């Protein structure tokens, strides 16, 4: 098997007006991305709302993505509720011809690193398909670097990791602890802001949600980096920060990224979780600002959706202290006007 590297796109799932999977639109998205030259696909991750689909729906999504993947490798999310179901999904993925599965740390309960290691060891011993360990501590139990290192060195089935911790020191530590002893172990970044820095320090690529919205930009950064043209790569990286910040800070993740697909001409429908009326208004604003950034980044077709920002609707409904501050300022100014 070849070493896993390059850019994998964590796909969204489009829904129709009744909330069912909009299969045709999903196929259209995958075909479009394949045409843009992305390395591979990553269905049933956090971006793909795996946790809000039924087991059968997750299988259906996988099947569609594989069918439309044009032979590109598929890294399939397989974080099912218990060991038996994970292994059943692993077998399904193997049968479909996926390249590997990606498994998050367990979520909901807080577990010890001992138990988490035992969990992954059991999966690694029984899985018929290669495994990528997906670290996303904001949503699921963190997998510590010592545990990851032991898994990497002891388990041939564990071929890599995807790191969405946004923790650059950790990323470097993973490289430092594992690569010297197992150079083909794949260390992928899962946080757009760190794409350039992670490639520079020795990473193997990324699974980046923005690659579904602006595959052209992400693939260009990746290619420039591979070619050693760091000046270009860094310039694009800094431009990407504004777009990513809009999409990741929008209310009700992953709605912000879905708005990005909309600006690019797709019909993702609404994610599988309600928004308040206020947040629906905020999403309008987010969509417009994404369009403005895209227009500015060389996607002229987005200009039409870039309306003059009202300036009064706060962008984030999960605001940082800084956002709150800016909201308070704005209210105070309006009151004193």
How many residues sit in the footprint of its own copies (CB under 8 A)? 88
The answer to whether 201 contacts its own copies (rule: CB under 8 A) is: yes
The answer to whether 175 contacts its own copies (rule: CB under 8 A) is: yes
The answer to whether 200 contacts its own copies (rule: CB under 8 A) is: yes
Mark residues 92-131: x for contact with its own copies by CB under 8 A, - for none. --------------xxxxxxxxxx-xxx-xx---------
Instruction: Please give, one letter per residue, the 3-state secondary structure of the chain.
Output: CCCCCEEEEECCCCECCCCCECHHHHHHHHHHHHHCCCCEEECCCCCCCHHHCCHHHHHHHHHHHHHHCCCCCEEEECCCCCHHHHHHHHHHHHHHCCCEEEEECCCCCCCCHHHHHHHHHHHHHHCCCCEEEEECCCCCCCCCHHHHHHHHHHCCCEEEEEECCCCHHHHHHHHHHHCCCCCCCEEEECCHHHHHHHHHHCCCEEECHHHHCCHHHHHHHHHHHHCCCHHHHHHHHHHHHHHHHHHHHCCCCCHHHHHHHHHCCCCCCCCCCCCCHHHHHHHHHHHHHHHHHHHHCCCHHHHHHCCCCCCCCCCCCCCCHHHHHHHHHHHHHHHHC
Residue 209 beta carbon to its own copies: minimum distance, rounded to whole angstroms: 13
Interface pick for its own copies out of 229, 230, 299, 305 (rule CB under 8 A)? 230
Interface pick for its own copies out of 19, 35, 128, 304 (rule CB under 8 A)? 19
The answer to whether 35 contacts its own copies (rule: CB under 8 A) is: no
Q: Which is nearer to its own copies, 68 or 163 (CB)?
A: 163
Sole window of 70-78, 89-97, 126-134, 315-323 interacting with its own copies (rule: CB under 8 A): 315-323
Four-residue CA torsion sign, 262, 264, 266, 272 = negative
Binding to its own copies in span 239-298, by CB under 8 A: 241, 251-253, 272-279, 281
Four-residue CA torsion sign, 152, 37, 50, 194 = positive
Residue 26 beta carbon to its own copies: minimum distance, rounded to whole angstroms: 17
Q: Which is nearer to its own copies, 147 or 294 (CB)?
A: 147
Q: Which is nearer to its own copies, 73 or 203 (CB)?
A: 203
Q: Which is nearer to its own copies, 37 or 319 (CB)?
A: 319
Interface pick for its own copies out of 139, 265, 301, 309 (rule CB under 8 A)? 139
Q: Which is nearer to its own copies, 71 or 108 (CB)?
A: 108
Interface pick for its own copies out of 3, 16, 81, 97 (rule CB under 8 A)? 81
Interface pick for its own copies out of 27, 63, 91, 166 (rule CB under 8 A)? 166
Interface pick for its own copies out of 21, 96, 168, 297 (rule CB under 8 A)? 168
Contact at 8 Å (CB) between 10 and 207? yes
Q: Which is nearer to its own copies, 31 or 272 (CB)?
A: 272
The answer to whether 153 contacts its own copies (rule: CB under 8 A) is: no
């Amino acid at each position: 098997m070849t070493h896993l590297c390059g850019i994998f796109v964590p796909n969204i799932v489009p829904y129709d007006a009744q909330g069912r999977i909009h299969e045709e639109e999903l196929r259209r998205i995958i075909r479009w991305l394949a045409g843009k030259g992305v390395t591979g696909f990553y269905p049933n991750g956090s971006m793909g709302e795996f946790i809000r689909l039924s087991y059968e729906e997750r299988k259906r999504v996988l099947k569609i993505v594989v069918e439309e993947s044009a032979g590109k490798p598929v890294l399939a999310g397989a974080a099912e509720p218990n060991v038996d179901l994970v292994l059943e999904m692993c077998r399904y993925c193997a049968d479909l011809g996926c390249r590997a599965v990606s498994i998050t740390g367990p979520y909901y309960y807080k577990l010890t690193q001992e138990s988490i290691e035992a969990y992954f060891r059991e999966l690694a011993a029984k899985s018929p398909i290669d495994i990528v360990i997906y670290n996303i501590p904001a949503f699921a139990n963190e997998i510590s670097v010592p545990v990851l290192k032991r898994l990497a060195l002891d388990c041939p089935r564990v071929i890599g990791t995807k790191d969405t911790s946004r923790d650059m020191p950790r990323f470097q530590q993973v490289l430092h602890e594992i690569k010297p002893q197992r150079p083909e172990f794949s260390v992928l970044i899962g946080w757009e802001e760190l794409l350039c820095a992670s490639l520079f320090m020795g990473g193997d690529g990324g699974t980046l949600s923005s690659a579904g919205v602006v595959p052209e930009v992400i693939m260009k950064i990746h290619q420039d980096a591979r070619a050693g043209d760091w000046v270009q790569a860094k310039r694009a990286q800094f431009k990407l920060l504004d777009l990513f910040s809009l999409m990741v800070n929008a209310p009700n993740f992953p709605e912000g990224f879905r708005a990005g697909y909309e600006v690019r001409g797709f019909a993702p429908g609404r994610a599988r979780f309600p928004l308040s009326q206020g947040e629906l208004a905020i999403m309008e604003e987010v969509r417009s600002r994404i369009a403005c950034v895209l227009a500015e980044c060389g996607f002229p077709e987005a200009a039409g959706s870039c309306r003059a920002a009202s300036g009064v609707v706060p962008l984030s409904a999960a605001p940082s202290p800084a956002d709150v501050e800016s909201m308070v300022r704005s209210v105070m100014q309006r009151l004193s006007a």
